[in-house]
Structure 1
Amino acid sequence: MEIRKPNDSEYKKVLSLSPQALFDGTLGEVKPSDDKVKQLIDPLLKKGSYYLIATEGDDLMGWILIGTSKDPFTEETYGFIYELFVREEFRGNGISKRLMETGINHLKQDGYSEIRLSVYAGNQAIKLYEKLGFKNRTITMSMPI
């Protein structure tokens, strides 16, 4: 398996699969259109965020989208993992862990001393994040009314 930045055709494939990635990541709560995905991702890429993809041969197995964000209270910037996705047929092979480790290393090399991410409660990826050393920082709660 190789983890690297995507070429143009691979990037287009990532974008075409991103609605499914967001659907899975939100545990089926959000089913964004291609246009909505573009609206969410374009500003991140313009600010320097980038994808790393996991491939084997011609197979795109998954990706991670990493970049920077700023704490609204302290104005401190930190590394941020915006998206982690492994295509269903490749899950259970440690690809998420490898993508996370590579993304974390890239963010370290980019000079960040802290990395944050957001994840839906109940998402199976939480177990991986905890094994890698992530801890709860904030909790967003909701109540239907």
Structure 2
Amino acid sequence: MIAKATEEELQEIRTKSADALFEGTMKQFHPSAERVNELVGSAFEKGCYYLVSRQENKLAGWVLIGPSTDFFSKEEIGFIYELYVVPEYRGQGLAKPLIQKAIDELSIKGYPEIRLSVHAGNFAQHVYRDLGFVDKQISMTLQVVKRP
């Protein structure tokens, strides 16, 4: 069953959020507890919330969803900010139902479009594509070497 996170589940998610962000960014960003609290707090202020999956009465995974604004048009859209499946529950097909529940909730709220961002190489890309997500824009980076 997938449902909105309880206060107890929110506390558990916060203890695992730094690891979730580290994995989600392909091990490029390992946030401090303070930074995690900042990011989550900012999301909650915008109206975001977690949906969780429990297996055997344990937290198995979550998805953070809520509103966002298109940079160009300023139109409000639905956004999937984070998807995480606890390591011991991976490979059991939990990611797809979490994302589908997120899509359902955001659709019911009337958002005309649902977006997400994913790092290149992240294994979750195939889940997103299987559910109908397509590339909208590509973010590119160039590492600049500082000269002495």
TM-score, with length taken from structure 2: 0.95
Letter of the 2:3 counterpart: R
Report the counterpart of residue 67 of structure 1 in structure 2: 66
Mapping 1:27-106, distance limit 5 Å = 27-106=26-105
Match of 1:141 in 2: 140
Q: Distance in 2 between matches of 1:122 and 1:72?
A: 25
**1:61 is matched by which residue type in structure 2?**
A
- Paired residue secondary structure (1:11): helix
Q: How many residues are aligned here?
A: 144
> 2:17: which partner in 1?
18
Question: Which structure 1 segments of 5+ residues have no match?
Answer: none
Question: For 1:1-16, what aligned pairs fall within 5 Å after superposition?
Answer: 2-16=1-15
Describe the SS at the equivalent of 2:111.
coil
1:6-57 alpha-carbon deviations (Å, 9 max, x no partner):
1111110001100000011011111101110111110111111110000023
The residue identity in structure 2 corresponding to 1:119 is V
Structure 2 counterpart of 1:78, one-letter code: I
Alignment-derived partner of residue 119 in structure 1 = 118
SS at match of 2:79: strand
Q: Which residue matches 2:109?
A: 110
Taking only the aligned residue pairs, the percentage that are identical comes to: 42
Gaps of 5+ in 2: none
Q: Tell me the amino acid that sits aligned with residue 93 of structure 2.
A: G
In the alignment, the residues of structure 1 paired with residue 125 and residue 53 of structure 2 have an alpha-carbon distance, to the nearest angstrom, of 20
Whole-Å Cα distance in 2 between the matches of residues 20 and 43 of structure 1? 19
User: 1: distance between equivalents of 2:129 and 2:5?
Assistant: 28
Q: Highest CA radius of gyration, 1 or 2? A: 2
In 2, distance between residues paired with 1:34 and 1:95?
Answer: 26
